[in-house]
């Protein structure tokens, strides 16, 4: 049995195979905090020609990155039609036969297209209730040729996503009192890596026993995420798990490890996870926007001082991704491996 989808469809599952049973109970609501208001950023204000409106939005953006590492983005200008098309086409990809999908399976970390299950089956002790498709979509665009239309839809979506992220990074640069194009220049974003990940979490008969994706941080600068109408993302905030219920048509944005490295810890990479449900298949589409793969990244000199020495050693983005992939996701951030 290769994928979770195949497992779920092959028999009437009433429980889950032992190799999927995780130690913690992701439905343990004593660790939840339901009533915190996660920040919302209005993209139209961030790009407004009204300077006082814009600077207010930049301040909110900086606060959200510093205090949460997470926010919902509204009025971003990406059409609902395109978002729906991406979700529909993604579902159709997973609906291909296992044989068709396996054309892309068994690949390595930097293969342009990779279909797989769990996190990294070579290192996972328990399996996670998740199948995925990963495509590098920038600086070179890659996507499966099947199902028809998927590639075109993902290409348009990836371009739109980059435009949104570019604006957010301008705002973030300004919020750090750096020049607007600072992050773009320093991270060589003309050749920046953009990795599109489509997650498929089939319905699970016992969501309290399995994890969709265990606690982790993302490796890039920012991740832009959307999902179909089933919730499942939790972010960690003040030691509690906050279940995220996105506003209609919003994007979920989180900071990644490279934002934390670059800002020398001022904007922390947020820990998050995905849980499953009994009701139906949850699809989420995330794009990890990171530096150029061959760029050495360490804390920005402007963020380092005698009182605040560099907290991370510089590492190539490519090597950092490999580091994360080589270790099981154990709730600890991969950043621990590069602290000075």
**DSSP conformation class of 31:** G
Task: Give min distance, CB of 178 to ligand OGA, in A.
Answer: 27
Binding-residue pattern over the window 178 to 217 for Ni ion, x denoting contact by CB under 5 A: ----------------------------------------
The Cα-based distances of 135 to 62, 84, 105, 306 in angstroms read 30, 19, 12, 41
- The listed partner (ligand OGA, Ni ion, none) that binds 236, CB under 5 to 8 Å by sort, is none
Task: Give min distance, CB of 56 to ligand OGA, in A.
Answer: 29
Q: Encode 53-83: b = buried (16+ Cβ within 10 Å), e = exposed.
A: ebbebbebbbebbeebbbbbbbebebeeeeb
Q: Which residue is nearest to ligand OGA (CB)?
A: 284
First-to-last alpha carbon distance for the chain, in angstroms, is 43
Alpha helices in the chain (DSSP H): 4-10, 43-46, 51-67, 80-95, 98-102, 150-175, 182-186, 257-262, 317-326
3-class secondary-structure state, position 148: coil
197 binds ligand OGA per the rule CB under 6 A: yes
Task: Give min distance, CB of 272 to Ni ion, in A.
Answer: 6
Q: Applying CB under 6 A, which of residues 286, 291, 298, 299 lies at the interface with ligand OGA?
A: 286
Task: Give min distance, CB of 6 to ligand OGA, in A.
Answer: 20
Q: Residues 320 to 339: which contact Ni ion by CB under 5 A? A: none
* Half-sphere exposure at residue 108, Cβ-oriented, CA atoms within 13 angstroms: 4
Task: Please say which residue, 60 or 236, places its beta carbon nearer to Ni ion.
Answer: 236
Q: Residues 211 to 230: which contact Ni ion by CB under 5 A? A: 218
Task: Give min distance, CB of 131 to ligand OGA, in A.
Answer: 12
- The listed partner (ligand OGA, Ni ion, none) that binds 233, CB under 5 to 8 Å by sort, is ligand OGA
Rg (the chain; Cα; Å): 19
232 binds ligand OGA per the rule CB under 6 A: yes
183 binds ligand OGA per the rule CB under 6 A: no
E strand segments, the chain: 40-42, 70-74, 113-117, 131-138, 193-201, 213-216, 222-227, 233-237, 240-243, 251-255, 272-274, 282-290, 296-297, 315-316
Q: Applying CB under 6 A, which of residues 42, 85, 131, 218 lies at the interface with ligand OGA?
A: 218
233 binds ligand OGA per the rule CB under 6 A: yes
- The listed partner (ligand OGA, Ni ion, none) that binds 199, CB under 5 to 8 Å by sort, is ligand OGA
Task: Please say which residue, 179 or 330, places its beta carbon nearer to Ni ion.
Answer: 330
Q: Which positions touch Ni ion (CB under 5 A)? A: 218
Q: Which positions touch ligand OGA (CB under 6 A)? A: 197, 199, 213, 218, 227, 232-233, 272, 274, 284, 286
């Amino acid at each position: 049995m290769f994928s979770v989808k195949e497992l779920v469809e092959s028999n009437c599952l009433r429980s889950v195979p032992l190799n999927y049973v995780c130690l913690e109970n992701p439905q343990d609501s004593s660790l939840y905090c339901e009533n915190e208001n996660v920040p919302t950023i209005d993209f139209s204000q961030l790009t407004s020609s009204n300077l006082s409106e814009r600077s207010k939005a930049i301040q909110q953006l900086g606060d959200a990155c510093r205090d949460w590492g997470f926010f919902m983005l509204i009025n971003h200008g990406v059409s609902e039609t395109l978002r729906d098309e991406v979700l529909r086409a993604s579902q159709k990809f997973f609906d291909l036969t296992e044989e068709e999908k396996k054309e892309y399976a068994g690949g390595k970390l930097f293969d342009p297209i990779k279909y797989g299950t769990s996190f990294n089956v070579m290192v996972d002790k328990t399996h996670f209730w998740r199948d995925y498709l990963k495509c590098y979509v920038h600086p070179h665009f890659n996507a499966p040729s099947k199902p028809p239309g998927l590639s075109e839809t993902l290409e348009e979506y990836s371009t739109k996503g980059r435009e949104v992220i570019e604006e957010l990074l301008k705002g973030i640069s300004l919020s750090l009192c750096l020049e607007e194009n600072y992050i773009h220049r320093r991270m060589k974003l003309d050749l920046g890596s953009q990795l599109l990940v489509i997650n498929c979490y089939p319905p699970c008969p016992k969501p309290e026993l399995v994890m969709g994706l265990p606690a982790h941080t993302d490796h890039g600068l920012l991740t832009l995420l959307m999902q179909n109408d089933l919730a499942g993302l939790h972010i960690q905030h003040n030691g509690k798990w906050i279940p995220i219920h996105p506003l209609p048509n919003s994007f979920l944005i989180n900071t990644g490890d490279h934002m934390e490295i670059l800002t020398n810890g001022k904007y922390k990479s947020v820990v998050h996870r995905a849980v499953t449900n009994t009701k139906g298949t949850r699809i989420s589409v995330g794009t990890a926007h990171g530096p150029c793969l061959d760029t050495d990244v360490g804390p920005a000199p402007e963020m380092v001082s005698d009182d605040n020495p560099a907290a991370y050693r510089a590492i190539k983005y490519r090597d950092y991704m490999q580091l994360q992939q080589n270790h099981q996701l154990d709730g600890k951030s991969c950043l621990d491996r590069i602290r000075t």
